[in-house]
């Protein structure tokens, strides 16, 4: 085990960096760093660990002084994240000086990442359930915008592509199906009904409603499985998959969770299929390091944590030597199962409940959702080249979404679907993952 | 390998001890940050009483998002008695989600709401019926374990649901806490005439509306602490500056800015702690 870890400095850098930026939020990272330095008493691990910790500590996000009083705001802002559509219009992060705010503006407004603008609006407090919100100190309900300069044009193009997808889907599918397809494909969750959210939550598959690392990996895996049937070289397969994922990321409005997942897949995939150094573990380490350096506050984003864990699970347990002996059905089901199990302890820690039926829900629905994503993308692209062909594929999507929605409705009503867990500490969470790690170690030695 | 097993064994011991310590049952009571609404929970010797459940409005369900994480943190998995002051959604909205997550043995409601459509609908959707619900039609005293609850219904001719709120006084160790739902000043004076127990801690009525928390009520109790349970950016402007002004002289706490307000029993007295200042990592996990 020590040897395995000694040869992977990227893992240590990722851990050190993660602990460093986490010092803003809790005291335990100090103990974690002390503990790991004492455990692996050699320079090869301690030097990268402590250096990364120092860097992390220096770039740690500040806990903002929250806005309390409502007031009028007028001033210059720079848009800090890709605007996201919600039920009440659009929202994004914006920077004013060195302070961050959550901006809410109308669906018609054309703002994109990197824009500079003068806005007028109402400054308000964050809601009680907003959490850290990337370090925002308040919200601004925008009433008027004057654009000063535009950011990179690629961000705006991404937004236009996403808009095009939205209109296409709405023209071809029933409203409920369209809402689902937009959510699972491109994270456009604004049209999903409250009752559908509830049903997905009860069936333990609510994460499938919004595109995440898990999605990207499923799409990549499915594409690979299809490409495996065609006799082309491995590197070409990977190139095709990564090309498709790049397209996917642009069309998904280049939102941070999508970019992160694509990045993670892009570094993990070649390692997984070619089994070359640097291996999958180091790849996840690298992707995490890049993510934290770009935006230190991702460390407290549940989406980031879940995508790191599921990707780690996948690269650790989908060993090429094992996978090559598996039948096709196992290849389709294994990633879902592994990703679900790898994230279960964290989900239990945060939400206090895990859905056992969710394991079944994921096994049943995830492949269908993957099919919906792939078919919708094909229909959309085909439709813009040859509309009749696109229409034909859209006809296939509708029954799949109906199946997903109705099965979820039914699955959520099954008894005993949720298991409540007593509150436990971060330490117990770490313990659970250490146990999983030894399980991997045992399997690894066997193979 | 041996080192790793040693590490795991070490972490196991520490974490079991840590969990046991941090989730030990301490007598305490909390005003939970639920946004614009009310929810307070009391525990003594393992017996738990809750008063109101926080709001549910549109997609925001405080029962699931805020109350459940908070009571789970306190290690509460069972509520012996839940008092519902009146059937407004900012007080009973969380009932459904909470009842799905923890066992609720008994629900106490004022008699005037026995046939109230909203109250009945919420109770039924949460699966409560008949013998589990106790209707209060006169000044009553209930005991759950060591917790003593006094209940004072509003006068029967009150004009609004707010003014029909049930006064709940919870006594735990050396403190008495008064919760008046959304009742107005007139009803507070009625309860003074009824010689309701004098309390050291009172929750400002109607989230700190100017129409509640009368000077008479404050003079009657001479409270050490007044708690305002209200939401950030609430459109009603609660708490009203006038109401806060009247409470000056007591220790003023607000759930919108102080977070969950908890009083821990140290063995001789209660010690106060609030979550907003300490920002634990748990609270920062969010989507
Ligand atoms: Zn109220």
Rg (chain A; Cα; Å):
22
Question: Measured between CB atoms, which of B60, B73, B100 is closest to A129?
Answer: B60
Segment B207-240, tens digit of pLDDT: 999 999 999 999 999 999 999 999 998 999 999 9
Question: How far is Cα A354 from Cα A340, in angstroms, rounded to an integer?
Answer: 11
For the ranges A27-41, A282-296, B3-17, B125-139, the lowest mean pLDDT is seen at: B3-17
Beta bridge partners of B141: B150
Token digits for B134?
């106790």
CATH number, residue A107:
2.40.50.140
Q: What is the pLDDT of residue B281?
A: 37
Which residues lie closer than 8 Å to B267 by C-beta, 6 or more apart?
A: none
- Best of A37, A86, A129 to disrupt the B interface (most B CBs within 10 Å) is A129
> Same domain, yes or no, for A43 and A179?
no
DSSP characters over A79-112: E-S--EEETTEEEEEEEETTEEEEEEE-TT----
List the single residue in A with minimal CA-CA distance to B233.
A125
Q: Which of residues 75-104 of B touch A (CB under 8 A)?
A: 75, 77, 100-102
Residue pair B195/B220 in contact by the 8 Å Cβ criterion = no
Question: How far is Cα A113 from Cα A258, in angstroms, rounded to an integer?
Answer: 15
Q: For residue B85, which phi and psi values (nearest 5 degrees)?
A: -70, -45
Which residues lie closer than 8 Å to A39 by C-beta, 6 or more apart?
A: B3, B7
Does residue A14 lie in a domain region? yes
Does residue A330 lie in a domain region? yes
> B147 vs A343, which has greater pLDDT?
B147
Question: How far is Cα B159 from Cα A409, in angstroms, rounded to an integer?
Answer: 42
> Same domain, yes or no, for A178 and A292?
yes
Question: Measured between CB atoms, which of A22, A128, A418 is closest to B33?
Answer: A128
Residue pair A59/A293 in contact by the 8 Å Cβ criterion = yes
Q: In angstroms, what CA-CA distances link A373 with A57, A197, A311, A409?
A: 40, 18, 19, 20
Last residue of a domain, one of A59, A83, A99: A59
Contact B3 A2 (CB under 8 A): yes
Question: Measured between CB atoms, which of B3, B72, B101 is closest to A423?
Answer: B72
Contact A427 B14 (CB under 8 A): yes
Question: Measured between CB atoms, which of A131, A425, A431 is closest to B12?
Answer: A431
Which of A227, A219, A231, A440 is CA-nearest to residue A342?
A440
Contacts of A71 in chain B (CB under 8 A): none
pLDDT more than 70, % of chain A? 88
> Same domain, yes or no, for A290 and A388?
yes
Please name the helix (run of DSSP H) or strand (run of DSSP E) that holds residue A141, with its range, or none.
Answer: strand A136-149
Question: How far is Cα A163 from Cα A167, in angstroms, rounded to an integer?
Answer: 6
Exposed / middle / buried, residue A150 (Cβ in 10 Å: 0-12, 13-18, 19+): middle
> A38 vs B118, which has greater pLDDT?
B118
Contacts of B260 in chain A (CB under 8 A): none
Which residues lie closer than 8 Å to A122 by C-beta, 6 or more apart?
A: A70, A71, A72, A73, A140, A141, A143
Q: In angstroms, what CA-CA distances link A316 with A154, A237, A325, A442?
A: 35, 21, 16, 12
Q: What is the pLDDT of residue B284?
A: 37
How crowded is residue A262: how many other Cβ atoms within 10 Å of its Cβ? Answer: 25
Question: How far is Cα A443 from Cα A437, in angstroms, rounded to an integer?
Answer: 10
Which stretches in chain B have pLDDT values below 70?
1-4, 19, 22-24, 276-287
> Same domain, yes or no, for A253 and A106?
no
> B134 vs A88, which has greater pLDDT?
B134
Last residue of a domain, one of A59, A80, A101: A59
CA B163 to chain centre: 19
Contact B101 A353 (CB under 8 A): yes
> Same domain, yes or no, for A174 and A276?
yes
Query: In Å, how far is A234's CA from the nearest CA of chain B?
Result: 36
Q: What is the pLDDT of residue A206?
A: 80
Q: What is the pLDDT of residue A271?
A: 63
Beta bridge partners of B50: B41, B82
Question: Measured between CB atoms, which of B7, B65, B73 is closest to A129?
Answer: B65
Contact B75 A130 (CB under 8 A): no
> Which is it for the CA torsion A145, A149, A154, A155, positive or negative?
negative
CA angle A440, A371, A395 (to 5 degrees): 175
Question: How far is Cα B243 from Cα B240, in angstroms, rounded to an integer?
Answer: 5
Which of B75, B70, B66, B126 is CA-nearest to residue B100?
B126
Does residue A66 lie in a domain region? no
Mean pLDDT (whole number) for A28-47: 83
Query: In Å, how far is B253's CA from the nearest CA of chain A?
Result: 15
Q: What is the pLDDT of residue A257?
A: 66
Does residue A156 lie in a domain region? no
Does residue A258 lie in a domain region? yes
CA angle A162, A196, A310 (to 5 degrees): 70
Q: Chain A within 8 Å of B19 (Cβ-Cβ)? A: yes
A249 has pLDDT over 90: no
Q: Please tell me the distance between residue B87's alpha carbon and the centre of ligand 1 in angstroms.
A: 9
Residue pair B229/B212 in contact by the 8 Å Cβ criterion = no
Segment A262-273, tens digit of pLDDT: 877 777 677 666
> Same domain, yes or no, for A18 and A101?
no
For the ranges A75-89, A164-178, A408-422, the lowest mean pLDDT is seen at: A408-422
Last residue of a domain, one of A112, A127, A151: A151
SS3 for A60? coil
Q: What is the pLDDT of residue A253?
A: 63
Q: Please tell me the distance between residue B115's alpha carbon and the centre of ligand 1 in angstroms.
A: 20
Which residues lie closer than 8 Å to B157 by C-beta, 6 or more apart?
A: none
Q: In angstroms, what CA-CA distances link A402 with A118, A180, A375?
A: 45, 10, 14
DSSP characters over chain B: -HHHHHHHHHHHHHHHHHHHHHTS---EEEE---SSS--EEEEETTEEEEE----EETTEEHIIIIIHHHHHHTT--EEEEEEE--S-HHHHTTHHHHHHHSEEEEEEEEGGGTT-HHHHHHHHHTT--GGGEEEE-S-EEEEETTEEEEEEPPPTT-SSTGGGPPEEEEEETTEEEEE-TT--HHHHHHHHHTTPPP-SEEEPGGGG-TTSS-HHHHHHH--SEEEE---TT-TT-PSPHHHHHHHBTBEEEEHHHH-SEEEEE-SSSEEEEESTTT--HHHH-B-
> Same domain, yes or no, for A253 and A296?
yes
Token digits for A248?
């996917």
List the single residue in A with minimal CA-CA distance to B231.
A128
> Same domain, yes or no, for A46 and A80?
no
Question: How far is Cα A296 from Cα A294, in angstroms, rounded to an integer?
Answer: 6
Contact A39 B77 (CB under 8 A): no
Token digits for A58?
């220096």
Q: Which domain holds residue A28?
A: 2-59
Which residues lie closer than 8 Å to B181 by C-beta, 6 or more apart?
A: B38, B52, B85, B86, B91, B162, B165, B166, B167, B205, B206
Q: Mean pLDDT: which of A162-166, A203-207, B207-211 is highest?
A: B207-211
Residue with tokens 């009150």: B158
Contact A133 B285 (CB under 8 A): no
List the single residue in A with minimal CA-CA distance to B101.
A420
Residue with tokens 């699972």: A184
SS3 for A77? strand
Query: In Å, how far is B63's CA from the nearest CA of chain A?
Result: 12
Q: What is the pLDDT of residue B77?
A: 86
> Same domain, yes or no, for A221 and A310?
yes
Q: Is the peptide bond before B282 cis (omega within 30 degrees of 0)?
A: no
For the ranges A34-38, A120-124, B137-141, B239-243, the lowest mean pLDDT is seen at: A34-38
> Same domain, yes or no, for A408 and A438?
yes
List the single residue in B with minimal CA-CA distance to A65.
B277
How crowded is residue A295: how many other Cβ atoms within 10 Å of its Cβ? Answer: 21
pTM value? Answer: 0.84
Exposure string (b/e) for B215-245, b if CB count within 10 Å is 16 or more? eebbebbebebbbbbbbbbbeeebbbeebbe
Query: In Å, how far is A157's CA from the nearest CA of chain B?
Result: 26
Does residue A64 lie in a domain region? no
Q: For residue A271, which phi and psi values (nearest 5 degrees)?
A: -65, -40
Q: Please tell me the distance between residue A117's alpha carbon and the centre of ligand 1 in angstroms.
A: 40
SS (H, E, C) A353-373: EEEHHHHHHHHHHHHHHHHHH
Residue pair B109/B120 in contact by the 8 Å Cβ criterion = no
Q: What is the DSSP letter of A301?
A: B
Does residue A65 lie in a domain region? no
SS3 for A131? coil
Q: Please tell me the distance between residue B157's alpha carbon and the centre of ligand 1 in angstroms.
A: 20
A141 has pLDDT over 50: yes
SS3 for A222? helix
> Same domain, yes or no, for A14 and A91?
no
Residue pair A204/A355 in contact by the 8 Å Cβ criterion = yes
Does residue A217 lie in a domain region? yes
Q: How many domains is chain A partitioned into structurally?
A: 3
Q: In angstroms, what CA-CA distances link A254 with A45, A83, A112, A260, B120?
A: 35, 10, 11, 10, 48
Summary mean pLDDT of chain A = 83
Q: Please tell me the distance between residue B146's alpha carbon and the centre of ligand 1 in angstroms.
A: 28
A200 has pLDDT over 70: yes
Contact B281 A438 (CB under 8 A): no
> Same domain, yes or no, for A120 and A165?
no
Contacts of B281 in chain A (CB under 8 A): 22, 25-26, 28, 300, 426
Sheet holding B201-203, edge to edge: B140-144, B147-152, B167-172, B175-179, B201-203, B225-228, B251-254
């Amino acid at each position: 085990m020590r040897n395995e870890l000694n040869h992977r400095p990227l893992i240590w850098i990722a851990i050190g960096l993660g602990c460093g930026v986490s010092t803003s939020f809790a005291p335990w990272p100090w103990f974690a760093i002390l503990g790991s330095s004492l455990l692996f008493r050699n320079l090869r691990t301690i030097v990268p660990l402590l250096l990364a910790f120092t860097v992390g500590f220096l770039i740690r996000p500040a806990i903002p002084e929250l806005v309390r009083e409502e007031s009028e705001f007028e001033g210059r802002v720079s848009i800090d994240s890709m605007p996201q559509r919600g039920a009440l219009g659009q929202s994004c992060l914006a920077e004013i000086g060195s302070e961050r705010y959550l901006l809410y503006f109308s669906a018609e407004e054309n703002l994109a990442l990197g824009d500079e603008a003068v806005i007028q609006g109402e400054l308000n407090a964050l809601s009680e359930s907003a959490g850290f919100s990337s370090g925002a100190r308040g919200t601004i309900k925008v009433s008027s915008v004057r654009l000063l300069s535009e950011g990179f044009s690629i961000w705006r193009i991404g937004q236009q592509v996403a808009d095009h997808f939205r209109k296409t889907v709405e023209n071809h599918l029933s409203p409920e199906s369209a809402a689902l397809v937009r959510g699972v494909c491109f994270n456009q969750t604004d049209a999903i009904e409250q009752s559908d959210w509830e049903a997905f939550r009860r069936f333990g598959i609510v994460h499938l409603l919004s595109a995440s690392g898990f999605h990207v990996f499923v799409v990549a895996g499915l594409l690979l499985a299809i490409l495996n049937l065609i006799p082309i070289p491995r590197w070409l397969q990977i190139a095709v998959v990564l090309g498709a994922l790049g397209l996917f990321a642009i069309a998904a409005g280049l939102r941070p969770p999508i970019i992160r997942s694509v990045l993670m897949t892009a570094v993990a995939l070649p390692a997984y299929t070619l089994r070359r150094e640097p291996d999958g573990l180091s790849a996840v380490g690298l992707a995490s390091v890049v993510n934290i350096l770009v935006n230190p506050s991702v460390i407290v984003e549940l989406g980031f944590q879940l995508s790191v864990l599921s990707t780690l699970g996948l690269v650790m347990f989908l060993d090429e030597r094992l996978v090559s002996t598996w039948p096709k059905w196992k290849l389709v089901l294994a990633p879902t199962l592994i990703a679900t199990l790898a994230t279960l302890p964290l989900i239990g820690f945060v939400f206090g409940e895990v859905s056992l039926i969710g394991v079944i829900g994921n096994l049943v629905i995830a492949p269908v959702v993957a099919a919906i994503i792939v078919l919708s993308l094909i229909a959309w692209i085909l439709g813009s080249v040859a509309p009749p062909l696109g229409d034909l594929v859209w006809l296939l999507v509708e029954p799949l979404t109906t199946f997903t929605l109705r099965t979820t409705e039914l699955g959520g009503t099954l008894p005993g679907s949720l298991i409540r867990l007593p509150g436990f500490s971060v330490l117990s969470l770490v313990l659970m993952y250490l146990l999983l790690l030894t399980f991997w170690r045992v399997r690894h030695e066997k193979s | 390998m041996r080192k790793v097993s040693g590490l795991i064994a070490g972490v196991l011991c520490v974490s079991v001890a840590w969990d046991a310590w941090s989730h030990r049952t301490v007598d305490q009571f909390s005003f939970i940050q639920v946004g614009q609404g009310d929810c307070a929970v009391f525990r003594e010797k393992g017996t738990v009483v809750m008063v109101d459940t926080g709001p549910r409005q549109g997609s925001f369900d405080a029962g699931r998002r805020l109350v459940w994480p908070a009571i789970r943190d306190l290690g509460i998995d069972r509520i012996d008695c839940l008092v519902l002051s009146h059937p407004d959604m900012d007080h009973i909205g969380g009932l459904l989600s909470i009842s799905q997550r923890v066992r609720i043995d008994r629900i106490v409601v004022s008699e005037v709401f026995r046939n109230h459509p909203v109250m009945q609908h919420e109770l039924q959707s949460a699966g409560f019926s008949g013998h589990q619900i106790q209707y209060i039609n006169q000044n009553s005293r209930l005991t759950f374990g060591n917790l003593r609850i006094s209940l004072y219904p509003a006068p029967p001719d009150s004009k609004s649901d707010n003014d029909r709120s049930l006064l709940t006084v919870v006594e735990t160790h050396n403190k008495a806490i008064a919760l008046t739902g959304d009742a107005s000043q007139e009803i507070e004076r009625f309860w003074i005439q009824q010689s309701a127990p004098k309390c050291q801690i009172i929750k400002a009525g109607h989230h700190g509306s100017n129409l509640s928390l009368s000077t008479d009520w404050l003079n009657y109790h001479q409270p050490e602490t007044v708690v305002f349970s209200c939401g950030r950016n609430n459109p009603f402007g609660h708490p009203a500056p006038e109401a806060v002004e009247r409470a000056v002289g007591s220790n003023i706490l607000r759930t919108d800015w102080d977070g969950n307000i908890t009083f821990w029993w140290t063995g001789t007295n209660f010690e106060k702690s609030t979550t907003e200042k300490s920002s634990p990592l748990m609270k920062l996990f969010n989507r």
